[in-house]
Amino acid sequence: MQGADWLIKDFLSVKNVLFFGIGGGGDVVTAAMLALAARREGYRAYIGSVVWERMSVDPVPGPIPIDELVGVHRIGRYSAMVKGSSRALRGGREVAFQASNVAQALNEEVAVVDLSAAAEGVAEGLAELIRELDVEAVVAVDVGGDVLAKGYEDELWSPLADAVGLAALVRARVQVQKVLAVHSIGADGELSPGYILERISTVSSLGGLLGARGITARDVEILERLLEHAHSEASRVQLEAFKGCWGQHVIRAGSREIECSPLQTITFFLDPYITLAVAPLAQAVLFTKSIKEARSILNSMGVYTELDLEEDAYTFMRKHGRLPRGDELRKLREEGRARLLFKALSRYSGHGEYGE
Q: Given a cut of 70, is residue 352 above it in pLDDT?
A: no
Determine how many CB atoms are found less than 10 A away from the CB of residue 300.
Answer: 13
The verdict on residue 25 lying in a domain is yes
Question: Of 167, 211, 92, 154, which is closest to residue 334 (Cα–Cα)?
Answer: 154
Mean pLDDT of 182-191: 90
Q: Given a cut of 90, is residue 7 above it in pLDDT?
A: no
Question: Of 242, 261, 269, which is closest to residue 186 (Cα–Cα)?
Answer: 261
Between helices 160-171 and 291-300, what is the axis angle to 10°? 110
The reply to whether 34 and 119 lie within a common domain is yes
Residue after which a domain boundary falls, among 264, 279, 300 = 300
The reply to whether 312 and 255 lie within a common domain is no
Quote the pLDDT of residue 349. 65
The verdict on residue 174 lying in a domain is yes
pTM to 2 decimal places: 0.93
Mean pLDDT of 218-238: 91
Cα four-point dihedral sign 26, 27, 31, 33: positive
- Domain residues for the domain of 238 are 5-300
Quote the pLDDT of residue 351. 53
The reply to whether 242 and 99 lie within a common domain is yes
Q: Are 31 and 40 in contact (CB under 8 A)?
A: no
The reply to whether 275 and 140 lie within a common domain is yes
The verdict on residue 356 lying in a domain is no
pLDDT tens, residue by residue, 63-115: 999 999 999 999 999 999 999 999 999 999 999 999 999 999 999 999 999 99
pLDDT band at 254 (very low <50, low <70, confident <90, very high): low
Picking from 11-15, 34-38, 77-81, 106-110, which range would have the lowest pLDDT averaged per residue? 11-15
The reply to whether 326 and 252 lie within a common domain is no
Picking from 75-84, 234-243, 288-297, which range would have the lowest pLDDT averaged per residue? 234-243
pLDDT tens, residue by residue, 39-63: 998 889 999 999 999 998 999 999 9
* Dist. CA 152–CA 326, nearest whole Å: 22
Quote the pLDDT of residue 341. 85
pLDDT band at 11 (very low <50, low <70, confident <90, very high): confident
Count of residues in the chain:
356
Quote the pLDDT of residue 145. 95
* Average pLDDT across the chain, whole number: 91
The reply to whether 13 and 103 lie within a common domain is yes
The reply to whether 329 and 210 lie within a common domain is no
The reply to whether 345 and 217 lie within a common domain is no
pLDDT band at 187 (very low <50, low <70, confident <90, very high): confident
Quote the pLDDT of residue 1. 41
- For residues 2 and 60, the model is more confident at 60
- For residues 137 and 233, the model is more confident at 137
The reply to whether 73 and 179 lie within a common domain is yes
The verdict on residue 317 lying in a domain is yes
Q: Burial level of 201, CB count in 10 A (0-12/13-18/19+)?
A: exposed
Q: How many domains does the chain have?
A: 2
* Dist. CA 305–CA 160, nearest whole Å: 6
